[in-house]
Every structure is written in C-alpha cells, then in structure tokens.
Amino acid sequence: MLDNIQNILMIRRGAIGDIIFTLPSYHLLRANFPNSRITYLVKDSYAQVLKGFPGLDEVLVIKKEELASRSVAKLWKMTAAMLHTVKDHNFQLAVDFVGHGEHAVLLWLSGIEHRWASIKTSKPVRQLFYTHYFIRDLDEVHLIDQHLRLLETGGLTPFPVTNRYVVPEESLEKAKHLFEHWGLSLQKPTLYIQPFTGDGNAGKMWPLERYAAVADYWREQGLQVIFGGGPSERDKLAGVAGRFPVAAGQADLVTSIGLASLSSVVLGGDTGLMHAALATGRRIVMLLGPTNCHRAGPYGHPEWAIKPGKTGIEDISVEQVLEETSAALANPL
C-alpha cells in the first residue's frame, strides 16, 4: 500500500520544542523511505530549527504575519497559494503532527492519497478528512512516542528510535568562534544556562537571580558559564552580562544550539533549546513548571528533570539545582 511513496510532507508549524518532538518521526520516515523526498511545512519564524534535521530535502513556510491576519481576503489568498504549492509537489503521504481543521481540509483538497494525523482530542468530523489518525491523549506517554505510534500504526517498520539533531557545520563554527571571542576553552567544562522560555510562560521560568547564584557558584569552582537567550532577552540579562558571556543577541537559534552542544551540561527550563540540546547528545538539567514530565519532559531521561513543589517552579531551591548540576557534571555525556 505504501510502495509508491516518493514524496512526503511533514507538518508542524511550531513551536521549537514541538518541532524537535517530530525529529524521531523524521528519522523513522527516512529509514522506511530512504529514497523518498521529504518536505517540512512550518511557520517562517521557526524554519531555522529544521537546519538540524539531517538530509531534509525542502522546507515550505507559512508566513506568521499572514497566518495571524484578520483579513479574510489575505487568509484566502494564502490558503489558495499553499494548496497550489502542495498540489504541485505531488505528495503521496502527508503526516500532520498537530491535526488542525484547516490542515485536514487542505490535505483533502490537495488529493494526497495517504493523509495521516496526530490529533490532540477526538474530532469526529475532522477525522473524516484523514485516511489514518492517532489521538494523542496518553498522559503517561511522551509526545515523541505518540508521534511514532501514528507512523507505526500506519504501517511503517518500527526501527530503533533515533533522536539525533545535527548542528550544521557553519553554525558549529560560529559557536566555536564565540567561545574564542569570549576567551573560553573548548577543553574546559562549561555550563550553558538557558534561563527563559520561548512562550514567556511565567509558570515555567525559574527566577533569574537564582540562575545567577548557580552560575556564581560554579564559576568559583572553576567552570566556564554561558547564558543563552533570544535577541529580545539581551536587556533582561544586563545584570549578568558583566560577569558572564551572554549569547542573547550574539547567536541565532541554531548557533545557540551549537553552543549548548559544545558545553558539558545545559541547564534551563522547559523550552525548545533544551530539547534540541538533548537531541545533540548533551546532558541537560531541566527545571519544570506545570509541564507533564512523562509527556513533554526530557525524552528518555525523566530523571534529568527537577519537578516543582505544590506552589510551582519557585519551590525549586538553588541547593536542589546545584545538587543536580553536580551530578550531571560528574556524569556528562
């Protein structure tokens, strides 16, 4: 039934962590269809993270600005253009990892023979537009494994899970140059701290002053420490910028993942860079807020997460984090 698959479309518009959660599924599709062309549809603001999906053939982007438009005319024009593009690519299999209603209709109108979807909750009408679907309502199963179940129940051979993010050589070189620029050595142990989360959810963010206390402690122990973050977070890190190198504003997302991959341990909250760092093979320590650790924590290593107390992430103490980072530094990957 799947012998004629030559062109495959993957869909996950964002965000960074959710895209990283489709990485093992990408590897499984590649293993099952080694000679097929794989294309990924994503929002333009998240497209760069796909540079770490080794061998990905093409990226199609949806402009975030157009998607957020309230103009019916603009949305119709965008949808018509995307439908035309999808039809032109002659996909035989589309795998939608979010299962939005507009995706269901788009794929159905495009005439793609095999239309598979991972759907958050049962949607009887929407499900009719897909030829195969999986309802991802398993709280004790990681989203990565739920995505893989979609592919396996669709008929793919379940090869061993590959969760491998490959930082492009150009980005890795930029990361090495930043190490040099900051006067850091690649041969010395380094702690990379990612203090903010991309969604800005206050319940997921540990107080910055506590991260700074952890950084001060480890610097006194002889470790190199780097603070990460996005360009808009540069000002928030002004208080630590005088004492530690700050990647925010100096490194794009993929270069930041490169910096994390060159470090010994990566410390931070539940955010996309942390999941990407784990997929590069780094040892991480993740501070969780309201996140279900089994469903969206560190894949394959729930023990690498520090879970909050009853009142939230602020219950996590500096002492707890020092203890966990000490264990991580003693057993880096």
Counting other chains too, the contacts that 26-31 makes at CB distance below 8 Å and 24 or more residues apart are 26/53, 26/56, 27/161, 27/162, 27/163, 27/164, 28/148, 28/151, 28/156, 28/158, 28/159, 28/161, 28/162, 29/95, 29/151, 29/156, 30/55, 31/157, 31/159, 31/162
Whether residue 164 lies inside any domain: the answer is no
Q: What angle do CA 175, 179, 184 make, to 5 degrees?
A: 160
Question: Quick check: is 305 in a domain?
Answer: yes
- Closest Cα partner for 59 from 79, 78, 38? 38
Instruction: With respect to residue 162, please indicate whether it lies within any of the assigned structural domains.
Output: no
127: domain CATH number is: 3.40.50.2000
Judgement on whether residues 214 and 321 belong to the same structural domain of the protein: yes
90 and 121 housed in the same domain: yes
Digit-coded pLDDT (tens) for 225-254: 999 999 989 999 999 999 999 999 999 999
Range of the structural domain that residue 323 is part of: 169-330
Q: Is 89 within a domain? A: yes
CB hemisphere CA count around 195 (13 angstroms) = 22
Q: Please say which residue of 112, 127, 153 terminates a domain.
A: 153
261 shares a domain with 125: no
Q: Residue 262 domain-assigned?
A: yes
What are 63-79's pLDDT values in tens digits? 877 777 777 778 778 88
DSSP state of 116: E
pTM exceeds 0.85 for this model: yes
pLDDT in tens, 78-130: 888 899 999 999 999 999 999 989 999 999 999 999 999 999 999 989 999 99
Helix, strand, coil percent values for the chain (each to nearest 5) = 45, 15, 40
